[in-house]
Amino acid sequence: MKKFHSIHLKRPSAIFSATRLLVVAGALMILAGCGGSGTGDSKESQRVDLLGAGASFPAPLVTAMADEYRDHTDGHITVNYQSIGSGGGIRQFIEQTIMFGMSEAFLSDDIMKDVENKTGGKAFNMPITLADVVATYNVPGLEKGVVFDAHLLVDIYMGKVTRWDDPKIAALNPDKVFPNMAITVVHRSDGSGTTNIWTSYFSRVSDQWKEQIGYATSVNWPVGVGGNGNEGVAGAVMNTPGAIGYNSLSYAFLNDMSYGYIKNASGNIIKPSFEATTKAADIDLPEDTRVLFTNTPAEYGYPIAGFAWMMVYENLEKNNAIETKQQARELLRFLLWTITDGQELCEGLGYARLPQAAIDRNLNMIRQIKWEGEPLGEEILKEENLI
């Protein structure tokens, strides 16, 4: 019975899509007939393709936003987001091959200065969502909830704590019994924003880590085995008794992995959650939001978290990837939508919402964005009655 029901539901949508495809194909042919002359204000010209690329962690959210936004605009605006890694997002943003980049690391001062010299305007880093990383482990007989603190994790990842029955672990978990088992450290083998947040947490709490290994999307790990992608790490952890690794929270949720609670800088033991992640960003945000808040001072914030930023130029016309004002306008509209209505999608997909402070900073930045000197951002905010 149920089966029939689902088939019945699916059919019309398939037919609908087939017709839509025919319509699209027809439109393609008409456009092909028109050649390049279709730049007037006909209806077709309002169709705009936007191109973004970058971090893989927020990719499921951004692509879901793109899906939703396409429906929201009756298929007029297509946002193509390719997940190529945070480094790729920054690189292609600088090379101006994409309209917006995304990254879990904000642009460095050097790059900001470079952009200012080249385009006469700033590069804006706008937080779209929050990334959180949890310590996942596979210890027979132990569920989630083993408590770690920063120094313990650093010691484990430096190879100083090598067994689960180490007194340092026991000291933080007085009510648990640990087996006499070797710890297998698992890390990402590919470049990843998750690694960036994880290692930046270590760098903040340990000078030794900061000097010897540092933080980046991929680092020279002192110990451990590599897994490719969130999945590779999860696979290695789940298949190896005694393993510890790190994954984004939503990934650990989805795959039902055991994950640790973290004692934060204020001494509170924090269970990872979207609320705790949002709280972590509850700090004095600078105007340009370029801040790392791993090891957050927020009292009940989860300490291994950071923003995922969308990067755009202040002077949009200077970006070679953006050719028309129309594209610039639609890019800004999409941007605005992601930080307002788009945020509704976050929790369903396993992401933490932006705190209000970050949204305010974003609105402020959008307001400054221009197209050939015209205050395009301000226009759009006025259209939406946000100022």
Partner 1 sequence: MQSDLLKRPLPVIYRWLGDKIFLTVVVLLGLTIIFLALSMAWVLYKEGSLAIHQFGVIGFLKGSVWDPGVQYVFGALPFIFGTMVTSIGALAIAFFPAIAIAIFMAEYAPSWLSKIIENLVHLIAAIPSVVVGIWGIFVFAPWMRETVYLPVVNFATEHYPSLLPVLGSPIGYGMTTATIILALMIIPFTTALTRDAIDKVPREQREAAWALGATRWEVIRMAVIPYARGGIMAGTMLSFGRAIGETMAVAMLIGNKNNFPFSIFGPAATMPSVIINEFREAVGNMHLSSLMAIGLALFAISLIVNLVAAYISRKLSITGGQAI
Partner 2 sequence: MIKPVKSLKQRNLRDRVMESLLVFSTILVMAPLLIIIGYVVVQGASAINADFFIHELGSPARAMQGRPTGLVHSILGTAVVDFLALIIAIPVGLGAGVMLSEYPDHKLNPMLRIINDTLNGMPAILKGLLAFALIVKPMGTFSGLAGGVALAFVMIPIIARSTESALMSIPWTIREAGLAIGLPRWRVVLSTVMPAAKTGLVTGFLIAFARAAGEAAPLLFTSFGNNYLPNHWTGMIMGPVDTLPQRLYSLAISPYKEWHAMGWAAGIVLLAFVITLFITARMLTKEKKY
Out of partner 1, partner 2, none, what residue 91 binds, judged by CB under 5 to 8 A for its kind, is partner 1
Q: Name the DSSP letter for residue 257.
A: -
The structure tokens listed for 289 are 């939001």
CB of 313 to partner 2, least distance (A): 14
Q: Using an 8 Å Cβ cutoff, are 234 and 227 in contact?
A: yes
**Nearest-angstrom CA–CA distance, 351 and 324:** 33
**Nearest-angstrom CA–CA distance, 233 and 240:** 11
CB of 6 to partner 2, least distance (A): 9
The alpha-helical segments, DSSP class H, found in the chain are: 2-34, 59-72, 86-95, 109-119, 150-157, 167-172, 193-205, 207-212, 229-239, 249-254, 274-280, 325-339, 346-349, 356-368, 376-383
Q: Which residues bind partner 1 (CB under 8 A)?
A: 84-88, 90-92, 184, 189-191, 213-220, 225-228, 232, 235-236, 239-240
Out of partner 2, partner 1, none, what residue 85 binds, judged by CB under 5 to 8 A for its kind, is partner 1
Q: Which stretch binds partner 2 (CB under 8 A): 55-63, 201-209, 217-225, 283-291?
A: 55-63
**Nearest-angstrom CA–CA distance, 372 and 5:** 55
Count CA atoms closer than 13 A to 187's CA, side-chain side: 26
Q: Does 218 bind partner 2 (CB under 8 A)?
A: no
Out of partner 2, partner 1, none, what residue 375 binds, judged by CB under 5 to 8 A for its kind, is none
Out of partner 2, partner 1, none, what residue 7 binds, judged by CB under 5 to 8 A for its kind, is none
- State which residue, 98 or 381, has the beta carbon closest to partner 2: 98
Q: Does 67 bind partner 2 (CB under 8 A)?
A: yes
Residues in contact with 3: Cβ distance below 8 Å, sequence separation at least 6, in sequence order: none
CB of 22 to partner 1, least distance (A): 30
- Interacting residue ranges for partner 2, rule: CB under 8 A: 10, 13-14, 17-18, 21, 24, 28, 31-32, 36, 47-49, 51, 53, 59-60, 62-67, 70, 76-78, 80-83, 95-98, 228-231, 234, 251, 320-321, 348-349
